[in-house]
Amino acid sequence: MAEFTGKVALVTGAAAGIGRATAKAFAAQGARVVVSDVNVHGGRETVAQIKEQGGTALFVACDVGDTKAVDALFDQAVHDCGRIDCAINNAGVDIEMQPEPRWDPELFDRIFAINVRGVYHCMRREVEHMRTLGAGAIVNLASFAAIAGVPNKPAYTASKHAVLGLTRSAALFYAQHNIRINALCPGSVNTAIIHANFAIIPGGEATLNAANPARRMAEPEEIAEGAVWLCSPRSRYVVGHGLVIDGGQSVQ
């Protein structure tokens, strides 16, 4: 039997990249997946790919920076699926990479609205619901930037530090309610977001890979495996942890 048969997993930011790979990984393990994203076309494509592989999924559009939209997402997900056992708060933006840091208050607010407030909005509904179930698992997408500084990304780096702090604080309280909350801290991942930055990095992908002990970026599926593991019974003693998946970059 697949590990998540009979379970429901919610994945935000699931129209592409890590989110799509994570949604497909949960579906492959038997979960019914609620795919959510502000990108309607991409989200529906993810659902179609899951169904093509024999899985079960539905799409609910949501801008996680909008409290009312998050409430609508959770109301519909619970109405249609009856429960949410696992939640992957993956939706986020990385729009800042420039040759020099951008000290732009509007940019700061936009990044925090999605990367931090979005996670907060989702967790608010997730922990409330999971307490009624008596159990649950939540994984927040942080970043390598949650544990280290990135020179030209002050707002993004601050936002991911905040996600990890939010994860740890909530994990301490909700562990007593059998809700495990953890975070993923990926390094460079082969997605459209990072490809958009290659033109700004001298040497592009080659430079990025040369700086990593593994000499490559991660594939989205490798990060998705971490998310699935953190929600599985195999990690039942893991609480408040920021799981770093970065090819060794952070230990140099």
Q: Which domain range does residue 27 map to?
A: 8-245
Cα 167 to Cα 120: distance, rounded to the nearest angstrom: 9
DSSP-derived secondary structure for 73-119: HHHHHHHHHS---EEEE---------SS----HHHHHHHHHHHTHHH
Task: Output the domain CATH number for residue 179.
Answer: 3.40.50.720
Are 218 and 248 in contact by the 8 Å Cβ rule? The answer is no
**Total structural domains within the chain:** 1
Structural domain contains residue 251: no
Structural domain contains residue 1: no
Question: Which residues are identified as catalytic?
Answer: 156
Residues 6 or more apart whose Cβ sits within 8 Å of residue 86: 4, 7, 8, 9, 10, 26, 31, 136, 137, 138, 139, 231
Worst-scoring range by mean pLDDT, 65-79, 118-132, 141-155, 230-244? 141-155
Strand arrangement of the beta sheet that strand 179-186 belongs to? 56-61, 32-37, 8-12, 86-89, 136-141, 179-186, 242-245
Both structure tokens of 238: 């893991």
22-59 pLDDT, tens digit per residue, is: 999 999 999 999 999 999 999 999 999 999 999 999 99
The pTM (predicted TM-score) of the whole model is: 0.95
Question: What confidence score (pLDDT) does residue 36 get?
Answer: 98
Could you report how far apart the first and last alpha carbons of the chain are, in Å?
A: 41
Cα 11 to Cα 239: distance, rounded to the nearest angstrom: 20
Structural domain contains residue 2: no
Cα 148 to Cα 156: distance, rounded to the nearest angstrom: 11
pLDDT above 90 coverage of the chain, percent: 82
Worst-scoring range by mean pLDDT, 177-181, 201-205, 214-218, 222-226? 201-205
Q: Is a pLDDT exceeding 90 seen at residue 106?
A: yes
Question: What confidence score (pLDDT) does residue 1 get?
Answer: 57
Structural domain contains residue 3: no
Question: What confidence score (pLDDT) does residue 96 get?
Answer: 66
Q: Is a pLDDT exceeding 60 seen at residue 103?
A: yes
- Where are the strands (E) in the chain, listed by range? 8-12, 32-37, 56-61, 86-89, 136-141, 179-186, 242-245
Higher-confidence residue: 237 or 192? 237
Question: Quick one: how far is CA 23 from the chain centroid?
Answer: 10
Structural domain contains residue 197: yes
Higher-confidence residue: 174 or 192? 174
Structural domain contains residue 250: no
Are 210 and 5 in contact by the 8 Å Cβ rule? The answer is no
Question: What confidence score (pLDDT) does residue 202 get?
Answer: 80
- The mean pLDDT of 141-151, rounded to a whole number, is 93
For residue 250, what are the CA distances in angstroms to 141, 142, 208, 238?
17, 14, 14, 21
pLDDT above 70 coverage of the chain, percent: 98
